[in-house]
Amino acid sequence: MTEPFEPYREWLGIEPHEMPVDHYRLLGVRRFEDDPTVIAAAADHRMLHVRSHQTGRRAVYTQKLLNELAAAKVCLLNPGSKASYDQVLQAVFFTPDAPPPIGQIAIAPFTINSQDLEVVVDDSSEDFEEEFEEQSGSNLWFVSGVIAFVLLLVTVSTVAYRLRMAKQREMQADDWQSPQIGASTLDDLNYEESEPILLYQEANGSINLDASFAQLHGPSIGLAISGNVDVIDAWESMDDWVSWAFKVVKLPPQGVFQVRVTYAARVEADGGSFVIAIGDQEKVCDVRGTGEVVTDEYFIAVPSSGVHTLAVRAKSKPSQRLMTLKSVNLAFE
């Protein structure tokens, strides 16, 4: 029976037990690498290697991997997003030390003063031997019980520690599922205009436009991290907007994609609206201000195959901020 192909292992040297990996491991550089030249060179080298398989029988695996490499490169080459990402990694990897091992029980040395000994010859040696055997048996059971208790205590402590660490990592990974929608600080956001990244269709025909791939435009909008997920935040100006460049190879029937917008908005933002546009095709979408993550679905037509740009712009904004945007997905239906 043929083993399933592992693109991470075969192309990037990442073993299955290492998954999921952080951006640094994905690019093959040391964790928290600060030299942008090293990061850029490593990303370009890996992306070039993956692209060499785009025309082979493993081509179906390339696009997802290229998108992940591009996202890692963009995140780590931007000082603002890198600082936020490193902060998350430090919380995950620099956890409190494991509980110290239980030390050996100090036992005072047992000394016998030979001067105090008195040799007594007793004819009832058989009774003495039986009594000694009984006492030895009792001591053996006592020592065995102590050892078993210590081993049990160590096992329970270790299991409890591992469960606590696993729960902590799970909570960090799931922060986006119940985000705290509050006021972001300047240190949390990246306000620099990002460079466009051309995204490709996945093997199933869908196109995933995540926040980490977005090109940001405007005076206040920025890229932030919620949990370990990149999001577009501080959408405060009507002049703020985002865009993605993508390439369509195969169109769905009638060229219509199902659009899934995943975002979160405060209660006071309810009733606002935004526009999704691809060329001349536009779709007006309402903002649901629930304070929780929601995914709204729409339909939009793409006129032809080739390179296109999807833009998201504010249309109306009843409160200070429009929304916190995670992704726009074009599903092949």
Q: Which domain covers residue 237, as residue numbers? A: 181-333
Tokens of 70: 């591009």
325 lies in a domain?
yes
DSSP code, position 301: E
Report the Cα 299 to chain-centroid distance in Å. 30
How far apart, in whole angstroms, are the C-alpha atoms of residue 219 and residue 285?
Answer: 23
pTM of the entire predicted model:
0.54
33 lies in a domain?
no
How far apart, in whole angstroms, are the C-alpha atoms of residue 292 and residue 324?
Answer: 10
230 lies in a domain?
yes
121 lies in a domain?
no
How far apart, in whole angstroms, are the C-alpha atoms of residue 56 and residue 213?
Answer: 26
Largest Cα separation within the chain, whole Å, is: 114
Q: What is the pLDDT along the chain (333 residues), one digit of tens a residue?
A: 567 888 999 999 999 888 888 999 999 999 999 999 999 999 999 988 988 887 778 888 888 888 889 888 888 988 877 887 888 788 766 654 444 444 444 444 444 444 444 444 445 445 545 554 555 555 555 555 656 665 666 565 555 555 555 555 455 444 444 454 444 444 444 445 556 788 988 888 999 999 988 999 999 999 888 877 889 998 999 999 999 999 999 999 889 999 999 999 999 999 999 999 999 999 999 999 999 999 999 999 998 999 999 999 999 999 999 999 999 999 987
211 lies in a domain?
yes
SS3 164: helix
Helix residue ranges, H only, the chain: 7-12, 23-27, 36-51, 62-77, 79-93, 125-173
Cβ atoms of 40 and 77 closer than 8 Å? yes
297 lies in a domain?
yes
Q: Could you give the number of structural domains in the chain?
A: 1
Q: Which of 308, 267, 266, 260 has its CA nearest to residue 285?
A: 260
38 lies in a domain?
no
14 lies in a domain?
no
Domain containing residue 291: CATH number: 2.60.120.260
